[in-house]
Structure 1
């Protein structure tokens, strides 16, 4: 199996599990953070890239006036289907789109936002160039990326537990992709290669992830992300075994009752 290829596959039951478990676990607080930043710039037309199941889209819909046009895109149509199914009544234009080949004319948007998506782009400078192309002069590109996995406790525990369960070929999706693009110098270089010439502003934001038990993050990561594709490739019983082992590791680390762990991300802002 080409693990790097399956890192971008959000299909089957993953979108629903992702939205049910992972969104409240780690995404909602950062979605509110991004939406607040977007609202402070008073944009007239916003493009969201890699919208997933729409947690940021919903936050934008609440934070922005109805006069602000919101266009939400994602590479995976099943994720957009889920996003539309749980969206509110606020008008949003939903479009399936590849971040490296956006289906929009130059200069259409005065703000482009992307939550935890740039790590998945195979050619990051090309994706950055596309974001810059569709921005109006002086427009803002706002995105966030997870910090290194050691600063994100639940993901770190899951990765270590899976390494112990599958030592011959440890499933490394979380460290490789979601937490694999956090170095400031690399991000700055890719932005320059993408045509941005202004200085990027970085802000590190720490938060806490809360769950009713260790079972919740075990299901969230093992079954609600593309890590599932890597685990299921091991064998027919691998997913249930992995979920059980990660549940035990979470309980051992954080206790049997309600748990919480550190999460940390970098917010990046740059003008076109």
Structure 2
């Protein structure tokens, strides 16, 4: 269920979560990609294309970007937004990439590695398709306590569903922050160099507490967990989370802290 981005999730994710959470980090990692001056880039777990569009804007027009995701529904949503540059959307599993060995200068992944069920296998696939001297760049969210809105929603839902709290946000998006674990997984994938970590803090902004609650409760697979439980409907749970966010951050034009690790490693 943690990787099930279907139904209304892609639309709400793209409309609410992308500008609130992903756009600031997309700009950052796109500039890191551009600084390496690649000619061919593979993106895994592209989602609805926040990073794809940022890279297309930052890179030279001749650079080929192949943007992949496991969920075709997310790619369908991504393709609805015009994008400049040489971009191809393609459904693909990061654990079994359908590309030749040594065929990309950079493999990049924005907030997707946390969802890989076998992280060393996914990193090994990235290494396989990288040319010698190429780089894997990816980012992951830091611990949930460093991310205000996600922490508030998770704590609130634990009170709504005390017998079986929905822990998607803590378990998956914010469950892969340990630098030593990431380093071990990259080594297990065959990378010889030590990864470089850069911890970045940004401000997450939403037009209202209600929009932030909808984004988390209905625009992520957290929705699937809420709908699978009894005691509160999806709408009721969303409204309770909106009230909790408003109590902490205000009801309109809110902002909160986010924090993530950016990781780079050379092949």
Scaled by the length of structure 1, what TM-score is found?
Answer: 0.97
- Asked if the contact 1:23–1:55 (Cα under 8 Å) also holds between the matched residues in 2, the reply is yes
Which of residues 70, 78, 83 in structure 2 aligns to 1:75?
70
Report the CA distance between 1:259 and its aligned residue. 1.1
Which of residues 121, 139, 142 in structure 1 aligns to 2:134?
139
Which of residues 200, 213, 219 in structure 1 aligns to 2:214?
219
Counterpart position of 2:80: 85
Counterpart position of 1:243: 238
CA–CA separation in structure 2 for the residues paired with 1:71 and 1:237 = 41
Which of residues 100, 112, 120 in structure 2 aligns to 1:117?
112
CA–CA separation in structure 2 for the residues paired with 1:25 and 1:67 = 30
CA–CA separation in structure 2 for the residues paired with 1:89 and 1:211 = 26
Counterpart position of 1:151: 146
Scaled by the length of structure 2, what TM-score is found?
Answer: 0.98
- Asked if the contact 1:70–1:92 (Cα under 8 Å) also holds between the matched residues in 2, the reply is yes
CA–CA separation in structure 1 for the residues paired with 2:120 and 2:126 = 10
Which of residues 29, 33, 37 in structure 2 aligns to 1:38?
33
CA–CA separation in structure 1 for the residues paired with 2:260 and 2:232 = 33
- Asked if the contact 1:45–1:70 (Cα under 8 Å) also holds between the matched residues in 2, the reply is yes
Q: Please, which moves more after superposition, 187-196 or 80-89?
A: 80-89
Structure 1 alignment gaps of length 5 or more = 1-5
Structure 2 alignment gaps of length 5 or more = none
Report the CA distance between 1:90 and its aligned residue. 2.7
CA–CA separation in structure 1 for the residues paired with 2:147 and 2:99 = 35
Q: Superposition pairs for residues 184-223 of structure 1, below 5 Å?
A: 184-223=179-218
Counterpart position of 1:12: 7
Shift >6 Å, 4+ stretches: none
1:95 and 2:118 equivalent? no
Report the CA distance between 1:236 and its aligned residue. 9.3
CA RMSD of aligned residues (A): 1.0
